[in-house]
Structure 1
């Protein structure tokens, strides 16, 4: 077989590139790997990833640091990671569904195609919670109050298009009610607003509430079934409301990350996420491991994006 000059040059280039790729992978990581969180410290995502970092470090063989870069419901972080040098040392900690919903609701500084999925590692269902001294003891009472006086009740979340917010969007659509949506930089600030009686009801995750339930009353949870951490609290579906929403927490890398480095990351993340000690550590935080490897999670993200686009067509959540 005779090679053309162009083909021969291609073979030569590939031969030269292969040792460089292998050398790059062998050296990785060359410096601390940064896990960048798009919310303020102290929230569920922040706590989960700081725990995970302890299990990831020995698998990567180098230091792992967590950095908080809050703003615009996670967009500030995701935009910075999308623009980061694609060498595997800067990774984004994403909380679903913001990765998908932000580019749907506005002209965003990033798109799903700007990232390569590394792994989904944990999940925590949403819930609606009031102050312990609130007059509302059930979600049905809350709905009735919102029907009587539209927009009077204040609902707090960690951002427009966040999982906390979208459960409100779905409830308003299903029950025909309206509340006033108020945003905060993260779950810690949402909690403070509720405990300070500045808002009537908040969207937080089950794990975030159960970790510090003092002076809080969880009315309903948004998982497909009752969480084992809050078995006394009904789900929306039990009450006849077709609502499911959770904070799925995973990690992405810049899209141009070299395949060998991405494979190394995925291997390390898989080993750490499936460590029984990690599962026990999350259990102590009232959170469940949900490991999906990178390629499979990437396919799931693309399918989910279509479902959120359909929701946007029915109920544009920036208006709700």
Structure 2
């Protein structure tokens, strides 16, 4: 009898501990964040992804009531940062500012340290069309002049990108395929170093996104074309590739991910904050000032779009020898 009473007492104590722990979970989630959140960026400071992340962090801090720190981890065309997010503890304190297509194409092209299944997709926020830019005093004033020169001097004109497998690199490959040209690809670890290389005359052409080039357009850079379906209202004077006879439409898409397995309450809190920020006129104004187009989708719809894009990229890899 004594043993039975002791066992029952122990069971009751254990049940109380378990109940207390379960009851504490929602409370803990309600208090989150209790320490700074790191927003990882896979490129050097000064590029479009970095600037978007730094703008977003200010608004996230207001929505979440905690500190958000942007951490630059350049390397391997952004794969280093994404693999860090994939391996992070799923507690909401490590997030990633993604750049698509690299988010999808890097694991297709090579062992990248992550796959699409490693993440919680919170929301995509903006898009930034690809563009080709040259130094303001460059001899190339149009895509036609660049194409003519590239055909006359195969492999001699240098083209800088933010890394192998990024949207800038893929825009080059598509451009070469569409025009029958061959440029000398030179990868950099972010749009900031790439822009400096173009301005310094160390790269003939810079494959920067439109939003990354527009603040320097005019006295410093000449944007030869934007890879939009039609001219962006943010850059109405920049002709599209299609206007100039090159069938190329491509863009960088930027969103926020976390490690797979985020607590439901934390995921919901982050998703709601991003939804609110995307609808905030002040955030939209900041994006316009950065020549970046709004393109918000919640996590589930974004993931569905990524799944379709992944199929298209894998089909592209299977057909093109240059992607082997």
Same fold (TM over 0.5): yes
Query: How much does 1:193 deviate?
Result: 0.8
Determine the structure 1 residue equivalent to 2:135. 131
Does structure 1 residue 63 correspond to structure 2 residue 67? Answer: yes
SS in structure 1 at match of 2:186: strand
Match of 1:234 among 233, 239, 255: 239
Question: Alpha-carbon deviations, 1:238-275, whole Å to 9, x = none?
Answer: 23332111111111000111222111110111111210
Asked if the contact 2:131/2:207 (under 8 Å) is kept, the reply is yes
CA 1:278–1:233: 2 relative to 1, 3 Å: same
Structure 2's unaligned 5+ residue stretches are 1-14
CA 1:19–1:237: 2 relative to 1, 3 Å: farther
Asked if the contact 1:160/1:318 (under 8 Å) is kept, the reply is no
The structure whose Rg is larger is: 2
- Moved beyond 6 Å, runs of 4+: 14-17
CA 1:110–1:148: 2 relative to 1, 3 Å: same
Asked if the contact 1:173/1:315 (under 8 Å) is kept, the reply is no
In the TM superposition, what are the counterparts of 1:19-58 in structure 2 within 5 Å?
19-58=23-62
User: Structure 1 CA distance, aligned partners of 2:287 and 2:97?
Assistant: 16
SS in structure 1 at match of 2:74: coil
Match of 1:171 among 168, 175, 178: 175
Count of aligned pairs: 308
Match of 1:87 among 88, 91, 94: 91
Match of 1:254 among 259, 263, 275: 259
Question: Alpha-carbon deviations, 1:6-64, whole Å to 9, x = none?
Answer: xxxxxx9x988753441331121121111110000111111111111111112111111
In the TM superposition, what are the counterparts of 1:1-320 in structure 2 within 5 Å?
19-213=23-217, 214-317=219-322
Asked if the contact 2:210/2:226 (under 8 Å) is kept, the reply is yes
Q: TM-score, normalised by structure 2?
A: 0.91
User: Structure 2 CA distance, aligned partners of 1:249 and 1:70?
Assistant: 16
SS in structure 2 at match of 1:204: coil
Structure 1's unaligned 5+ residue stretches are 1-11
Q: TM-score, normalised by structure 1?
A: 0.92
Query: How much does 1:287 deviate?
Result: 1.4
User: Structure 1 CA distance, aligned partners of 2:234 and 2:70?
Assistant: 27
